[in-house]
């Protein structure tokens, strides 16, 4: 199968959705298929086992995203794709759907969340939102990465042609490799950890508020905040205001050895997100066999069950979160972590890629039957 992965950006080292795309593309190659990534941006030297093509076009609200479809059409003339898959309905999903009139190639959109979130800025721009609606209503297939994302998709398209729930995946071996304590972190106190993008939807400000309320009760346990993002300075100031600087440590973004060690050695994760698609960080805690405190957002449903391998609280409820922090100390964290580790196998990237490929074949078969001879 010859696939085009059409994406607004593609620098997997930055994390997020691009990590998912990279892992899927690698799996497709390993299974004998031929993925080609088409991404906006300056050409970059990436160590990947598949070709990456770049197109140049500034993204702003005043240009027409279907125009980038010409790059897809031009590449199709050389590569002859069987299927185009995109993340997000805008701009690439909309452009691919419009380009289908010329290429005849079926389009699958698999949102990673940002375009459909209720909190998304795109909803505030009617001209953009109309294009997103058009993309999700006219794609040949849709992939929802969680029950929450399926809910958002069906609000736009209640009766899609084909839709499949396929979660993000993980590399079971990567995070289980031996790791050494980071050279710049020598604190020996037990710790819980918030890991990820320090953005407004992650609820880390609520974590600080909750931790401040119960710090004395859960001492000597401390909180590590690992990641970077636009709220980093604000969160650090909040920690100072709450007089938490001795017990809440900001370690910045960590990768490879440092990230593995921190995941492997934390007592539990704290991820009280306001809104998520299917968080990779949730899978990372699952992979290393750690329980978590997470929100009741449906994005966590297929990974975590309340009082089985996690405690779930409503988002933006620091009081509930504080109570959960206290409760975790009295639970059998080893047993909860064992359940998490057992569940992790269902999300291994190879099996997730198989589900994508099976769905792609269904889409291709359906569109070939529908297409006039």
pLDDT digits (tens, 9 = 90+) for 2-33: 999 999 888 776 567 888 899 999 999 999 99
The pLDDT score that the predictor gives to residue 132 is 93
pLDDT digits (tens, 9 = 90+) for 112-124: 777 898 888 878 8
Where does the chain show beta strands of DSSP type E? 2-7, 34-40, 52-55, 83-86, 107-111, 141-144, 163-165, 191-195, 222-226, 248-252, 269-271, 292-295, 310-313
pLDDT of residue 355: 97
Q: How confident is the model at residue 368 (pLDDT cuts 50, 70, 90)?
A: confident
Residues in the chain: 373
330 contacts: CB under 8 Å, gap ≥ 6: none
Cα gap 222→188, rounded to integer Å: 10
Residue 329 CB coordination number (10 Å): 15
Q: Map residue 16 onto helix, strand or coil.
A: coil
pTM assigned to the model = 0.89
Residue-wise pLDDT tens digits, 85-106 = 998 898 999 999 999 999 999 9
Asked if pLDDT for residue 369 goes beyond 80, the answer is: no
Residue 373 has pLDDT above 50, yes or no: no
Query: What would the two tokens of residue 179 be?
Result: 């790791």
Domains present along the chain, CATH in parentheses: 2-169+349-370 (3.40.50.2000), 174-346 (3.40.50.2000)
- Give me the half-sphere count of Cα atoms (radius 13 Å) on the Cβ side of residue 238: 16
Is 208 in contact with 238 (CB distance < 8 Å)? yes
Checking if the pLDDT of 42 tops 80, the result is yes
Which DSSP string do the residues of 226-275 spell out, in sequence order? E---TTHHHHHHHHHHTT-TTTEEEEE---HHHHHHHHHH-S-EEE--SS
pLDDT at position 162 over 80: yes
């Amino acid at each position: 199968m010859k696939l085009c992965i059409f994406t607004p950006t593609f620098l997997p080292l930055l994390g997020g959705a691009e990590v998912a795309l990279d892992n899927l593309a690698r799996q497709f190659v390993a299974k004998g298929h031929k993925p080609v990534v088409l991404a906006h941006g300056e050409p970059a030297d990436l160590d990947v086992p598949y070709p990456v093509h770049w197109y140049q076009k500034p993204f702003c609200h005043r240009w027409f995203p279907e125009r980038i479809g010409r790059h897809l059409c031009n590449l199709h003339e050389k590569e002859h794709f069987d299927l185009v898959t995109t993340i997000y309905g805008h701009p690439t999903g909309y452009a691919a759907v419009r380009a289908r009139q010329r290429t005849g190639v079926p389009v699958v959109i698999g949102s990673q969340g940002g375009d459909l979130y209720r909190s998304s800025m795109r909803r505030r721009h009617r001209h953009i939102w109309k294009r997103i609606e058009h993309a999700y209503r006219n794609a040949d297939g849709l992939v929802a990465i969680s029950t929450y994302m399926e809910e958002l998709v069906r609000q736009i398209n209640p009766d899609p042609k084909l839709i499949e729930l396929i979660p993000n995946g993980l590399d079971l071996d990567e995070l289980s490799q031996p790791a050494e304590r980071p050279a710049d972190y020598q604190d020996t106190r037990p710790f819980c950890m918030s890991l990820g993008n320090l953005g407004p939807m992650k609820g880390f400000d609520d974590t600080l508020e909750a931790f401040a309320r119960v710090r004395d009760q859960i001492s000597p346990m401390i909180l590590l905040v690992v990641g970077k993002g636009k709220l980093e300075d604000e969160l650090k100031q909040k920690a100072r205001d709450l007089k938490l600087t001795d017990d809440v440590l900001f370690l910045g973004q960590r990768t490879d050895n440092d990230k593995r060690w921190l995941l492997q050695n934390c007592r539990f994760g704290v991820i009280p997100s306001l809104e998520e698609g299917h968080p990779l960080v949730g899978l990372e805690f699952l992979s290393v066999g750690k329980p978590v405190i997470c929100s009741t957002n449906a994005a966590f449903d297929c990974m975590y069950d309340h009082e089985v391998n996690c405690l779930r609280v409503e988002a933006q409820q620091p009081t509930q979160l504080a109570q959960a922090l206290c409760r975790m100390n009295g639970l059998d964290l080893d047993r909860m972590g064992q359940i998490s580790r057992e569940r992790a196998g269902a999300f291994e990237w190879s099996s997730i890629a198989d589900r994508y490929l099976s769905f792609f074949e269904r889409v291709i078969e359906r569109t070939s039957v529908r297409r006039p001879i």
